[in-house]
Amino acid sequence: MLKTETPSQEHAGLDQYPVAVLVETLIADQLNAVAAVRAAAGVIAAVVEAAVPRIAAGGRLIYVGAGTSGRLGVLDCVELHPTFSWPHERALSLLAGGKGAMFQAVEGAEDDSKQGFLDLAALLPRANDVVMLLAASGSTPYVLGALDAARTAGALTVGIANNVDAPVATRAEFGITLDTGQEVISGSTRLKAGTSQKIVLNTISSAIMVRLHKVHGNLMVDMKATNAKLLRRAVALTMHATGADAASAHFVLEQCDYHVKAAIVVLLRQVPVARARALLDQTEGSVRAALLLQ
């Protein structure tokens, strides 16, 4: 039996715990997710190093999974655009059972390896694409089928599993094993196994975006204000990065179509918007380099 499926003996009387103890037990077990990710930090760093040049060369981030793992992939995928202005067409996700499986389980979809292969192949994967394949068990047929298609196309494959020596990890170019062990509620990998996967996806995608100059210092500067909340955030980020007052930050952002990067360069270099944009283009979007470029 897989470790993630093996009943835990530590909390065999879970259903009899007082509510306060029950809540504390469920929270405390999540700390094991953090420990599992930390143990895999070396290979996670290697994934980022391998992925960055591919993505910089025009590659796409592609997420594949079923059930909880698949939904976590969708979540990371869709948040890249509002957070980093990452193009929608360069962040794609495949969920066993299709889009409807995001909200309701599609029975048997995860067992179809052929469909996994076909779904990934339909995206026309290329060598610069980075395909992240998630499966708590590490042996989900749909995910393994997609893995085969990605490898056939020469894409970079990253297998993420919660069991040691899982096929999705051993057959991918990079295997990330998150050994979270037995779940408090036996077999429910939406708990710490899912938490560990979420941490890994956050870490990989965020690190890639940092390396692609989507972050200045530790500020999220490559977002665009498309609603009132994001407008307030853009003004605050611009003020923090430049020392400008709110009125000045808002005025310059308006001239820059609310692009924080450009506003920072305009304010700190005291140049027109067109020049700020040209400087960013010359430095591949690096605010730090644009501020130094003569």
Query: Does the annotation count 110 as an active-site position?
Result: yes
Which of 5, 49, 79, 183 is the catalytic position? Answer: 79
Cβ–Cβ under 8 Å, residues 186 and 5: yes
Q: Which of 5, 10, 89, 110 is catalytic?
A: 110
| Residue numbers annotated as active site | 79, 110
